[in-house]
């Protein structure tokens, strides 16, 4: 091969490698996007049944119940309008508590209960997860002001 051909082959090989890499990356990316839904959207059946997604909102006051015989926890996530029941098997993050913002990732079963595989840890007690704040905000926008549930907790960015 002449040097010029060699160089062409070299460039062609590099390009092929690059295309394969990009295809691989985009494919994996497509499969692993996790979408976000608010409790209202979930109850309106906008969320998929067969795919992992995230929910966010407040843990409803008085809704946390522990199963005494196992490590299962039940609680309700609300955006101020809709109430979504959630199951979780495992250890909740240190900052999880009633009346605080929460983000959970998992799947929705046919019975309308969200089975969380992860409950996201927030490591600052004054920090509102943006997803939770977003859920509250979206729910508010869809309501007339009179219908608003008044106690919705601190807004995002309410730090110091």
Partner 1 sequence: MNAELGQVALALALSLALVQAVLPIVGAARGNPAWMRIAPYAAVGQFFMVALAFACLVAAFVSSDFSVRYVASHSNLALPTHYKVTAVWGGHEGSLLLWVLMLSGWGVAVSLGSRSLPLTMTARVLGVMGLVSLGFLAFMIFTSNPFDRLLPAPLDGRDLNPLLQDPGMIFHPPLLYMGYVGFSVTFAFAIAALLGGRLDAAWARWSRPWAAVAWAFLTFGIGLGSWWAYYELGWGGWWFWDPVENASFMPWLTGTALLHSLAVSEKRGSFKSWTVMLAILTFALTLLGAFLVRSGVITSVHAFATDPERGVFLLAFLALSTGLSLALYAWRAPKVGMGGSFAPFSRESLLLSNNVLLVVAMLAVMLGTLYPLAMDALGLGKISVGPPYFERVFAPIMMPLLFLIGLGSQTRWKQDDPMTLLWKLRWLLLASLVIGGLWPFAVGHWSPLTSGSLMIAAWIGLTVLRDIVTRLQGNAGHRGLAARLGSLKPSYLGMQMAHTGIAVFLVAVAMVMSYEEERDVRLVPGESVEVSGYDFRFQGTSRVQGPNYSAERGVVEVSRDGRVFTTLYPEKRHHPGQEMPMTNAALDRGLFRDLYVSLGDPLGGGAWVVRVYYKPYMTWMWSGCLLMVFGGLLAAADRRYRLASTRRVAPAVGTTSTSPAGGR
Query: Contact residues for partner 1 (CB under 8 A)?
Result: 6, 9-10, 14, 17-18, 21, 24-25, 28-29, 31-36, 54, 66, 68-71, 89-92, 94-95, 103, 105, 120-127, 129-131, 134, 156-157, 159-160
CB 60 to partner 1: min, Å: 18
Which structure tokens are listed for 159? 């730090």
- In the bound state with partner 1, the residue whose beta carbon lies nearer, of 19 and 147, is 19
CB 146 to partner 1: min, Å: 27
CB 121 to partner 1: min, Å: 8
Q: Which residues pair with 53 in a beta bridge?
A: 35, 106
Element (H, E) at 24: helix 3-32
- In the bound state with partner 1, the residue whose beta carbon lies nearer, of 69 and 110, is 69
Tally of CB atoms within 10 A around 120:
18
Taking alpha carbons only, the member of 122, 51, 58, 120 closest to residue 84 is 58
Q: Report yes or no: 74 and 86 within 8 Å, Cβ to Cβ.
A: yes
Q: Are strands 114-119 and 101-108 parallel, antiparallel or unpaired?
A: antiparallel
Q: Report yes or no: 46 and 141 within 8 Å, Cβ to Cβ.
A: no
- In the bound state with partner 1, the residue whose beta carbon lies nearer, of 12 and 147, is 12
Q: How many residues does the chain have?
A: 160
CB 32 to partner 1: min, Å: 4
DSSP label at residue 7: H
- In the bound state with partner 1, the residue whose beta carbon lies nearer, of 59 and 92, is 92
- In the bound state with partner 1, the residue whose beta carbon lies nearer, of 37 and 81, is 37
CB 99 to partner 1: min, Å: 11
């Amino acid at each position: 091969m002449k040097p010029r051909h060699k160089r062409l082959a070299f460039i062609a090989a590099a390009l092929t490698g690059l295309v394969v890499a990009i295809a691989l990356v985009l494919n994996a990316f497509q499969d692993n996007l996790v979408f976000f839904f608010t409790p209202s959207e979930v109850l309106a059946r906008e969320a998929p049944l067969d795919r992992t997604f995230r929910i966010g909102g407040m843990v409803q006051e008085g809704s946390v119940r522990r199963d005494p015989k196992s490590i299962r926890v039940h609680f309700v996530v609300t955006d101020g309008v809709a109430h979504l029941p959630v199951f979780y098997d495992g250890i909740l993050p240190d900052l999880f508590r009633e009346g605080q913002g929460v983000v959970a990732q998992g799947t929705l079963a046919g019975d309308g209960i969200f089975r969380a595989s992860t409950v996201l840890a927030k490591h600052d007690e004054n920090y509102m997860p943006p997803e939770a704040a977003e859920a509250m905000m979206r729910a508010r926008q869809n309501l007339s002001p009179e219908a608003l549930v008044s106690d919705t907790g601190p807004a995002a960015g309410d730090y110091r």
